[in-house]
């Protein structure tokens, strides 16, 4: 994995992320505050340190196990420096802003698996931002729900 | 005042004991009622607005996703000139729609659904519709007349409206509920007096809860206001066309059903005008989409300003508009239609130019033209097509006989499809002569369809259909191949080293391997490239100038020549003309016909001839019918012409015979037909029709 991080870091330095084949299956693009864009395919996301959390959500029945990458891990890999907010956008044009404080204080993840299965678009996949609502009762409520954006396809760091 | 009574008197003790009991009883009673009130408050909080808000939100998004799916589906199946959308878009929007509908099947949305039978039924219908689309979608061809496409549209379209209406009802319910909640709490303060006297602690609890609820209720009212604004905005966005700000098809359908309900109730007049712009496509193609967009906006504002405030103007397609009139009788409707047309006839000053367009209007009236929204729309559309066929800028009222029009269209398309195989197409050839001596310089190949029942059909009756269905490409290839074959034969027979002009359609010109195809047809038929002259229209060249330059360059390097057909009606800029390897321009027949009589047509003709001569193009006049026209053209320096004065288009054998007889070479002062009567009588069934 360290090797992968090195490759990723190098490809970012060189100004392109991954081969042409990898670009084809990009599922997430991260825009840094300097305007540079870093693209991730599923393999690249899975190569980052995984994080699993179990929580209820208002859209599902019963406790759910989400596996993904912590946003802090992702941003570190993409070379995103701290900004004021993150603008998250979805395939269905839904967009929402996530404050940096949320990401720092709580293990907020970009989930790519739900209960051990990859998520197709029709099940809110391929990526879904998940807040640990069970572990932190403070995070329950419609404000945080609005930030749990599904069908995520791009993140943009705003200074 | 009895102060001597001891405080511990049994009577008093008994009395105070019973007071304690009563007090306790009262306390317990109040406590119960408080607990009840408390629970009631909590229940209302939990039930009311938040759940409804989520439902409204989810419904509006569902509506939105259905819309988006249908738009991308329609773009995929139709040849939309404004935007390209592939199958991938359709599939993605379908997945997004499925994900939205699945939301109602788990979590809070599902729980809130319980008991709401209407909504439960809508969701179940949506589920069924999605399952159907899922089956139909994988094999769906990009064809708007495919029955599977129609089935999808007919399934989703009504549901879309139902979802929208359900969403709106939820928003209304939210306001009502939050007001009710505030009311309940305000009324509750009357009961506060008793709890204050009996149970301070409970009172504290109660008031704390009350305050929380009041705060929540106020917040919810705000939230519902917010939600209502958002939903109105969303409704406006999805209900209006972005370009012109007019209501779109979805909103029009709502207005239409309301108008219909009024017309039914009051027996009042209702008329639906379906308006399609004439000559808009050349503007859009040759001057660019931004000019086209400007023009559509101006059309929208002209239409809106030509009607009363209560009349509805909507944009339902690229250059299609609908106007709804209530309370106008037939004469008033006709007057309104002519007022609309007159306003559209005014010049459009756009991008430093003055442009002119027109419109065709079809009108359906309630109830004779339909009693349901879709009937009125369809019938007005059919009437509009009739207006177009009657030659543009006209108004036609719907007549039930038109009903079979669509079916005829389908039938004709099926026949057209088999016409190539059955060998029903023929080529006729119209000579192009030197105006100076009448000698034949070349011929133009013109397509005819010999229909087994209807006889000979002119291209303007079936080419639009062929273009719409894509059949134009195989038909065009057939024309090119057979025209080249005929030209090669004439050369072999040593009749004349004849130059063969062949019309290319816009669709053929866009096919990427056009150059390769022409090369292979030339090789196959043995015609030398220099004898082939391909005719293009101005709009075809300007749709994609760089592409045109590339294709034309490739072919002209081989020796193939190019002509611009119908010159003068489009918007060709001289700049482009010089960059393209064009060797001939053909003056549109409309100018030639009027040239000797109308000063303006004469001036345009003169200008085109002068332009062509100075750029060293051959100039060919089309539609030369009288000696006066020929003399005028000759005097202006036009060297070539074609038209009925010389010869109508003739089948190859008849033309061979005429050429063998030397009619054309000898001819100078009278029409060929007078010298070769026998030839033209063979084709007497051929109506004098514009050449295509």
Supply the DSSP string of B429-476, one letter for each residue: EEEEEETTT--EEEEEEEEEEEETTTEEE-HHHHHHHHHHHTTHHHHH
Residues of chain A with Cβ-Cβ distance to B96 below 8 Å are 91-92, 121, 151
| Lowest model confidence (mean pLDDT) among A40-44, A67-71, B374-378 | B374-378
Query: Strand B532-537 vs strand B561-567: parallel, antiparallel, or unpaired?
Result: parallel
Looking at residue B565, its pLDDT comes to 87
Domains and CATH numbers, chain A: 2-158 (3.90.420.10)
d(CA A107, CA B33): 45
Domains and CATH numbers, chain B: 49-239 (no CATH), 249-398 (3.30.70.270), 429-682 (3.20.20.450)
d(CA B604, CA B187): 85
User: Taking a C-beta distance cutoff of 8 angstroms, is the pair B262, B331 a contact?
Assistant: no
Cα of B160 to nearest chain A Cα, Å: 18
User: Does A151 touch chain B if contact means CB atoms closer than 8 Å?
Assistant: yes
Does the beta-carbon distance from A122 to B107 stay under 8 Å?
A: no
User: Does A150 touch chain B if contact means CB atoms closer than 8 Å?
Assistant: yes
By the 10 Å C-beta count (0-12 exposed, 13-18 middle, 19+ buried), B233 is classed as exposed
Does the beta-carbon distance from B65 to A92 stay under 8 Å?
A: yes
User: Does A24 touch chain B if contact means CB atoms closer than 8 Å?
Assistant: no
Reduce the DSSP state of residue A49 to 3 states and report it.
coil
Residues of chain A with Cβ-Cβ distance to B102 below 8 Å are 122-123
Binning pLDDT at 50, 70 and 90, where does residue A3 land? very low
The H or E element that residue B16 is part of is helix B10-47
Token output for B317: 């397609």
| A7 pLDDT more than 60 | no
d(CA B268, CA B265): 8
d(CA B56, CA B173): 10
| Lowest model confidence (mean pLDDT) among A12-16, A130-134, A154-158 | A12-16
User: Taking a C-beta distance cutoff of 8 angstroms, is the pair B480, B520 a contact?
Assistant: no
Within 8 A by CB and 6+ apart from A124, the residues are A59, A150, A151, B99
Q: Which residue has the higher pLDDT, A5 or B233?
A: B233
Within 8 A by CB and 6+ apart from A85, the residues are A97, A98, A99, A100, A158
Does the beta-carbon distance from A121 to B50 stay under 8 Å?
A: no
Low pLDDT (below 50) residues in chain B? 1-10, 12, 81-83, 190-191, 665-692
Token output for A4: 């992968």
Report pLDDT digits (tens) over B80-133: 544 455 788 888 899 999 999 998 888 888 887 777 888 888 899 999 999 999
d(CA B258, CA B20): 68
User: Does A120 touch chain B if contact means CB atoms closer than 8 Å?
Assistant: yes
**Integer distance in angstroms from the first to the last C-alpha of chain A?**
30
Cα of A123 to nearest chain B Cα, Å: 6
User: Does A146 touch chain B if contact means CB atoms closer than 8 Å?
Assistant: no
Residue showing tokens 């042409």: A20
Averaged pLDDT for residues A67-85:
89
Looking at residue B241, its pLDDT comes to 78
Calculate the average pLDDT of chain A: 84
Give the closest residue to A155 by CA, choosing from A23, A40, A7, A15.
A40
d(CA B500, CA B498): 6
Q: Which chain A residue has the Cα nearest residue B54?
A: A142
Looking at residue B17, its pLDDT comes to 63
User: Does A52 touch chain B if contact means CB atoms closer than 8 Å?
Assistant: no
d(CA B295, CA B86): 27
At B252, give phi and psi (nearest 5°): -55, -40
Q: Which ranges of B137-248 does DSSP label H, i.e. alpha helix?
A: 147-188, 193-198, 200-239
Distances (CA, A) of A59 to A62, B62, B113, B583: 10, 15, 13, 68
Looking at residue B439, its pLDDT comes to 84
d(CA B331, CA B251): 28
Looking at residue B607, its pLDDT comes to 82
Q: Which chain A residue has the Cα nearest residue B93?
A: A92
Based on DSSP, count helices (H) and strands (E) in chain A, helices before strands: 6, 10
Looking at residue A114, its pLDDT comes to 95
By the 10 Å C-beta count (0-12 exposed, 13-18 middle, 19+ buried), B689 is classed as middle
Q: Which chain A residue has the Cα nearest residue B89?
A: A91
Reduce the DSSP state of residue B327 to 3 states and report it.
coil
Phi-psi region of A81 (alpha: psi -120 to 50; beta: other; left: phi over 0): beta
Residues of chain B with Cβ-Cβ distance to A57 below 8 Å are 107
Does the beta-carbon distance from A91 to B108 stay under 8 Å?
A: no
Length of chain A as a residue count? 159
d(CA B23, CA A71): 61
Residues of chain A with Cβ-Cβ distance to B50 below 8 Å are 142
Residues of chain B with Cβ-Cβ distance to A59 below 8 Å are 103, 106-109
Q: Which chain A residue has the Cα nearest residue B103?
A: A59
| Lowest model confidence (mean pLDDT) among A11-25, A87-101, B36-50 | A11-25
Binning pLDDT at 50, 70 and 90, where does residue A89 land? very high
Residue showing tokens 């002519």: B338
Residue of B50, B92, B107 with shortest CB distance to A61: B107
User: Taking a C-beta distance cutoff of 8 angstroms, is the pair B163, B129 a contact?
Assistant: no
Looking at residue B198, its pLDDT comes to 55
User: Does A121 touch chain B if contact means CB atoms closer than 8 Å?
Assistant: yes
∠ at Cα B570 (B471, B645), nearest 5°?
Answer: 80
| A5 pLDDT more than 80 | no
ipTM, 2 dp: 0.80
Residue showing tokens 């105006």: B435
State the best of A59, A90, A96, A125 to mutate against chain B, taking most chain B CBs within 10 Å.
Answer: A59
- The 3-state DSSP composition of chain B as helix, strand, coil percent (nearest 5) reads 65, 15, 25
Does the beta-carbon distance from B109 to A59 stay under 8 Å?
A: yes
Residues of B with CB under 8 A from a CB of A: 50, 54, 61, 65, 92, 95-96, 98-100, 102-103, 106-110
Residues of chain B with Cβ-Cβ distance to A122 below 8 Å are 95, 98-99, 102
């Amino acid at each position: 994995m360290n090797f992968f991080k090195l490759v990723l870091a190098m490809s970012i330095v060189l100004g392109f992320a991954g081969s042409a084949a990898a670009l084809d299956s990009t599922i997430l693009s991260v825009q840094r505050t300097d305007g540079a864009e870093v693209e991730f395919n599923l393999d690249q996301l899975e190569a980052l340190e995984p994080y699993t959390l179990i929580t209820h959500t208002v859209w599902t029945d019963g406790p759910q196990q989400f596996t993904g990458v912590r946003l802090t891990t992702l941003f570190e890999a993409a070379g995103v420096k701290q900004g004021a907010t993150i603008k998250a956008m979805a395939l269905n044009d839904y967009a929402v802003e996530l404050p940096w404080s949320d990401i720092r204080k709580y293990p907020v993840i970009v989930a790519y698996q739900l209960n051990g299965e990859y998520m197709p678009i029709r099940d809110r996949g391929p990526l879904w931002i998940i807040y640990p609502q069970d572990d932190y009762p403070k995070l329950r409520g419609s404000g945080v729900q609005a930030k749990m954006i599904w069908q995520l396809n791009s993140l943009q760091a705003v200074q | 005042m009895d102060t001597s009574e001891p405080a511990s008197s049994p009577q008093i003790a008994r009395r105070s004991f019973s007071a304690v009991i009563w007090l306790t009883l009262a306390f317990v009673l109040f406590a119960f009622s408080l607990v009840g009130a408390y629970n009631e408050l909590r229940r209302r909080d939990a039930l009311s607005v938040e759940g409804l808000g989520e439902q409204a939100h989810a419904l509006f998004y569902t509506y939105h996703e259905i819309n988006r799916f249908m738009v991308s589906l329609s773009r995929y199946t139709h040849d939309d000139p404004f935007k390209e959308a592939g199958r991938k878009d359709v599939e993605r929007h379908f997945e997004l729609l499925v994900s939205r509908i699945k939301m109602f099947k788990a979590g809070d949305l599902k729980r809130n659904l319980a008991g709401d039978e209407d909504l439960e039924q809508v969701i179940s219908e949506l589920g069924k519709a999605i399952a159907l689309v899922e089956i139909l979608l994988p094999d769906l061809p990009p064809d708007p007349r495919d029955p599977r496409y129609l089935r999808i549209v007919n399934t989703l379209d009504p549901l879309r409206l139902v979802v929208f209406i359900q969403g709106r009802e939820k928003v209304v319910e939210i306001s009502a509920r939050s007001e009710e909640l505030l009311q309940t709490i305000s009324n509750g303060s009357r009961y506060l007096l008793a709890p204050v006297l009996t149970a301070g602690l409970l009172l504290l609890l109660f008031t704390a809860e009350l305050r929380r609820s009041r705060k929540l209720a106020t917040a919810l009212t705000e939230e519902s206001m917010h939600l209502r604004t958002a939903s109105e905005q969303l409704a406006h966005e999805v209900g209006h066309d972005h370009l012109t700000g007019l209501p779109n098809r979805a909103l029009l359908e709502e207005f239409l059903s309301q108008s219909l309900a009024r017309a039914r109730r009051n027996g009042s007049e209702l008329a639906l005008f379906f308006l399609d712009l004439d000559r808009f496509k050349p503007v859009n193609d040759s001057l660019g989409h931004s000019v086209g967009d400007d023009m559509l906006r101006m059309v929208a504002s002209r239409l809106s300003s030509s009607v009363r405030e209560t009349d509805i103007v909507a944009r339902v397609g690229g250059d299609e508009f609908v106007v709804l009139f209530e309370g106008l009788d037939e004469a008033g409707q006709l007057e309104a239609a002519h007022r609309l047309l007159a306003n559209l006839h005014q010049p459009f000053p756009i991008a430093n130019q003055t442009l002119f367009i027109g419109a065709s209007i079809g009108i359906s009236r309630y109830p004779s033209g339909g009693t349901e929204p879709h009937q009125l729309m369809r019938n007005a559309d059919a009437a509009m097509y009739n207006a177009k066929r009657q030659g543009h800028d006209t108004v036609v009222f719907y007549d039930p006989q038109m009903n079979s029009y669509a079916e005829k269209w389908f039938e004709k398309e099926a026949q057209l499809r088999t016409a190539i195989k059955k060998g029903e197409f023929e080529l006729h050839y119209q000579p192009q002569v030197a105006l100076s001596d009448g000698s034949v310089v070349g011929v133009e190949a013109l397509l005819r369809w010999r229909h087994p029942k209807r006889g000979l059909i002119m291209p303007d009756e079936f080419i639009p259909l062929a273009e719409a269905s894509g059949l134009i490409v195989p038909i065009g290839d057939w024309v090119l191949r057979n025209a080249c074959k005929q030209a090669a034969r004439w050369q072999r027979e040593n009749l004349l080293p004849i130059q063969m002009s062949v019309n290319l359609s816009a669709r053929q010109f866009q096919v990427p391997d056009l150059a390769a195809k022409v090369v292979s047809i030339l090789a196959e038929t043995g015609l030398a490239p220099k004898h082939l002259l391909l005719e293009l229209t101005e709009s075809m060249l300007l749709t994609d100038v760089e592409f045109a330059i590339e294709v034309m360059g490739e072919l002209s390097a081989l020796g193939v020549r190019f002509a611009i057909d119908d010159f003068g009606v489009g918007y060709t800029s001289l700049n482009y003309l010089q960059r393209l390897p064009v060797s001939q321009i053909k003056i549109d027949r409309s100018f030639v016909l009027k040239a000797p009589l109308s000063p303006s047509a004469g001036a345009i003709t003169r200008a085109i001839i002068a332009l062509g001569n100075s750029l060293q193009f051959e100039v060919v006049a089309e539609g030369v019918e009288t000696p006066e026209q020929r003399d005028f053209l000759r005097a202006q320096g036009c060297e070539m012409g074609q038209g009925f004065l010389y010869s109508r288009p003739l089948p190859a054998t008849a033309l061979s015979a005429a050429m063998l007889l030397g009619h054309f070479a000898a001819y100078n002062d009278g029409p060929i037909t007078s010298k070769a009567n026998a030839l033209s009588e063979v084709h007497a069934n051929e109506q004098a029709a514009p050449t295509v």
